[in-house]
Chain A
């Protein structure tokens, strides 16, 4: 009999295979129900998951988003350049952790993978004083520049 025991604190929570499962879920929704349904799903996810973050964004502004984004990139162990100027939060990454891992494992990221950024973050900014823009995005690597900024009134 072989027994192995592990406590939650023994390991870091970083199961990169979840990127593959996420891609499969999006692909399934897209192929079965179309592009509009995929967008609708991601908007719903963002609305539910980022509910508290949206409240923080309204209360504390871009600094709350900066802290959140630093946290998730740290958790992913992924390099990103995050800078904040007056009224603008800019993110630059040389590659996307999801796209990179999915490809490394021999799978193909869906064509609309960009929506895990654009749809999710636009929904997060909806009904706040801020807006989101994907300035450029390399479909092959996910290298991109993203900006959150205060809306012009």
Chain B
């Protein structure tokens, strides 16, 4: 420490290391001209609704009714062989549609990743991509379980993390964090409606 103190006058003149600077947050940029986006636009004209780049990651918004077609083309013709992640975000109250469904793909040839995003209204089905990537099976089941988004033509769209008969979809923004009365929904003979065990109470 003593050495550092004696070196202070020079250190002030020299530029500060990046970890002592105020962090500069990444800014979103339009990415329509990005090579990964242009590949898709060249294959499927009108499929790209919008494209943004944030912190080096490219997101392409795709019309919901064309997602099956786009994913198929991405895998077969653009070499995105690996679906890394599939999830959803609830934007409750957004007029254009409540949910975003997110597909995050990887290709091994040049180690690039691309995010597809689909805007979905509540209660609207979206095509399942299990026929494109087998790994999507459980991921879509999880999204169905957590958000109540239905995937058309999914081989077994069942709840995966909560139990059969659970009422509600926990990751929706209107689902209370302390839980809901699910007892009546599961055991209607035992509990009257509204009379079941509530999460957060002492475990009677």
| B is bound to A | no
List B residues at the A interface (Cβ < 8 Å). Answer: none
List A residues at the B interface (Cβ < 8 Å). Answer: none
